[in-house]
Amino acid sequence: MCGIVGYIGTQDTKEILLKGLEKLEYRGYDSAGIAVMNEMGVHVFKEKGRIADLRAIVDNDVTASVGIGHTRWATHGVPSKVNAHPHQSTSGRFTLVHNGVIENYAILKREYLQDVNLVSETDTEVVVQIIEKFAQEGSHIEEALRRTLAILKGSYAIALVDNEDPETIYVGKNKSPLLVGVGDDFNVVASDAMAMIQVTDQFVELMDKEMVIVRKEAVTLKKLNGEIVERAPYTAEIDASDIEKGTYPHYMLKEIDEQPLVIRKLIQKYQDETGILTIDTDIIQATQQADRIYIVAAGTSYHAGLVGSQMIEKLAKVPVEVHVASEFNYNMPILSEKPLFIFISQSGETADSRAVLVQVKDLGHPALTITNVQGSTLSREADYTLLLHAGPEIAVASTKAYTAQLGVLAIFASVLAEAKGHTVEFDLVQDLGIVANAMEILCDEKEELENLARKFLSTTRNCFFIGRTMDYYVGLEGALKLKEISYIQAEGFAGGELKHGTIALIENGTPVIAISTQEQVDLSIRGNVKEVVARGANPCIISMKGLETEEDSFVIPAVNELLSPLVSVIPLQLISYYAALHRDCDVDKPRNLAKSVTVE
Ligand code: AGP
């Protein structure tokens, strides 16, 4: 979702901001803007569309050493130049970018801004106008910002410049992510480290309700009551080359191809010096004390949670419930006596999951976050973290993070099982190795999978994915992948459930992708395929070696059934990728979507 950058130093600010915004493009946005400040005042450039459109209107003759920038994912008001950030106060003195949602903006507008003519439809403009109002009443800028932040309800990450104080960027944060990067003779502001990794790898995390005064030579953190906070920077371990596409046409394809490597890296990262898979003993002890595990997540991470629940229940024999974060937040079930919560989130910033984590911590329950982003909000605020080690995932459609989540969940389940005295009947290191090899084989079968995408999906308006047990969960993920990047209406169903209503949608030629990797339900899912075929469906059966029949469209290599989702998802990812390509869709940045969903 929205992204923020800021720079104060000695170099060409425009270019640093624009490059930073390009690095944030993956988060999803519909308009962008920058404001740079020099002795002539503040110069604002903003445009609807892509950063390339913004670049086209930036005046190259304007030079400056201070500036802020923003990519906007519309919440209040349509995507337009007027609604794009930065927003300015009426006098032009204050210029501000904002990420998040100000829930009480309408009330604030009525209370403080009756006499102010707002030019945009955004909640953000209300913030910058109130800062101006407080400044006009005599508050120094820092005080005006502090007073404003104190009355905001909702989430915000804010960067503000004042043309009467051209040596400073003022920053505020609550719930929405924001970092301050530190360098020699310059400092930066960024929604995530990737945006500024080209200039520094030293970042200071900001906590909620903190503000920062960022100058070229110093960064001062304060609480909203003015108390100074000391916090050392951490080193962001991102290799700048990890966030380049290289020779790939799309990040999504690169990230699909990286999956075998990610699984091999995971094995290494979670092995001890003797080669045994291991998980931090504190985590295992906390889990052993729990009578039930609650997995909370959204989207693809929720689908990983469904598979993970089976792994944990089957291996460690602990009951697991899996919940969609946005529902759990408002509709918490009666909890067991000793629950342990697992938050699964690629970004570690999903606002829906974070809202649940806050409630869970208030209730005093232990929480573990499984995430790809070290230092992310969900990681910082949970008691424990397990990292995915998948490297930055840039494409909006999650691929390698999903399989890494499954890998970590499998390792967690098997270590927990051993700790509880349950024998794990297979060698997980070896079986994950077999998974990585199978993934590699599948990544080499792109041509065949592209043909399947053409055969089944080139003209269809909808598509169903069916499976049973583990294959049902993978079907849900396959359907999500297909709809988010190709815009084909796709639904995943438990094979047996279709006949309870949805089978009414099957017409002549409707594609039904059926997955069969589980011996126990192979015949049942094939029976479900017959039911839809009898009603005209065009079936595409993807089965696992050993269960295949002549009617199958694609066969995946044999792996441990419990780990099959790590492998069976790959043809679904690639079929979705090619279906989107055939329809000329923007694969990496699908419409309306954001990579990091930082509003509830
Ligand atoms: C996945 O392809 C989606 N882009 C989306 O469903 C995503 O998984 C969801 O928003 C949760 O994100 P998180 O894993 O960063 O919490």
What is each CA distance from 49 to 29, 168, 252, 272, in whole angstroms? Answer: 8, 29, 21, 49
Instruction: Report pLDDT digits (tens) over 514-552.
Output: 999 999 999 999 999 999 999 999 999 999 999 999 999
**DSSP code string of 47-111:** EES-HHHHHHHS-TT---SEEEEEEE--SSS-S-TTTSSPEE-TTS-EEEEEES-BTTHHHHHHH
pLDDT(599) > 80: no
Residues 409 and 528 in one domain: no
Give the Å distance between the CA of 402 and the centre of ligand 1: 9
Contact 400, 262 (CB under 8 A): yes
With a 6 Å cutoff on the Cβ, whether 44 touches ligand 1 is no
Amino acid 366: pLDDT: 98
558: DSSP letter: P
Catalytic residue among 46, 48, 400, 595: 595
Amino acid 74: pLDDT: 84
Residues 407 and 469 in one domain: no
463 classed as catalytic: no
State phi, psi for 22 to the nearest 5 degrees. -60, -35
How confident is residue 12, by pLDDT bands cut at 50, 70 and 90? confident
Contact 309, 303 (CB under 8 A): no
Catalytic residue among 2, 443, 463, 540: 2
> What is the average pLDDT across 131-157?
95
The span from the CA of 134 to the CA of 118, in Å, is 16
Amino acid 282: pLDDT: 97
With a 6 Å cutoff on the Cβ, whether 99 touches ligand 1 is no
Residues 32 and 99 in one domain: yes
Please tell me the total count of domains within the chain: 3
> What is the average pLDDT across 483-503?
94
Q: For residue 399, give the ligand 1 atom closest to its CA.
A: 2
Residues 211 and 309 in one domain: no
pLDDT(474) > 80: yes
pLDDT(281) > 80: yes
Amino acid 596: pLDDT: 77
Residues 357 and 495 in one domain: no
Residues 468 and 422 in one domain: no
Q: Which domain holds residue 201?
A: 3-241
CATH number reported for the structural domain that contains residue 398 in this entry = 3.40.50.10490
Contact 560, 406 (CB under 8 A): no
* Closest Cα to atom 4 of ligand 1: 397
Last residue of a domain, one of 241, 275, 310: 241
CATH number reported for the structural domain that contains residue 217 in this entry = 3.60.20.10
* Closest Cα to atom 6 of ligand 1: 299
Residues 423 and 572 in one domain: no
With a 6 Å cutoff on the Cβ, whether 345 touches ligand 1 is yes
pLDDT(501) > 80: yes
> What is the percentage of the chain residues whose pLDDT exceeds 70?
100
Last residue of a domain, one of 440, 469, 486: 440
Question: pTM for the complete prediction?
Answer: 0.82
How confident is residue 415, by pLDDT bands cut at 50, 70 and 90? very high
Look over the chain and give the mean of its residue pLDDT values, rounded to a whole number: 94
Contact 187, 210 (CB under 8 A): no
Give the Å distance between the CA of 366 and the centre of ligand 1: 23
Residues 137 and 65 in one domain: yes
Instruction: Report pLDDT digits (tens) over 419-456.
Output: 999 999 999 999 999 999 999 999 999 999 999 999 99
How confident is residue 337, by pLDDT bands cut at 50, 70 and 90? very high
Q: For residue 398, give the ligand 1 atom closest to its CA.
A: 2
With a 6 Å cutoff on the Cβ, whether 478 touches ligand 1 is no
Residues 192 and 161 in one domain: yes
With a 6 Å cutoff on the Cβ, whether 299 touches ligand 1 is yes
Give the Å distance between the CA of 298 and the centre of ligand 1: 6
Last residue of a domain, one of 215, 241, 267: 241
pLDDT(239) > 80: no
Of 557, 571, 544, 587, give the one whose Cα is nearest residue 450.
Answer: 571
Residues 373 and 497 in one domain: no
Residues 431 and 450 in one domain: no
Give the Å distance between the CA of 346 and the centre of ligand 1: 7
245 classed as catalytic: no
Residues 412 and 491 in one domain: no
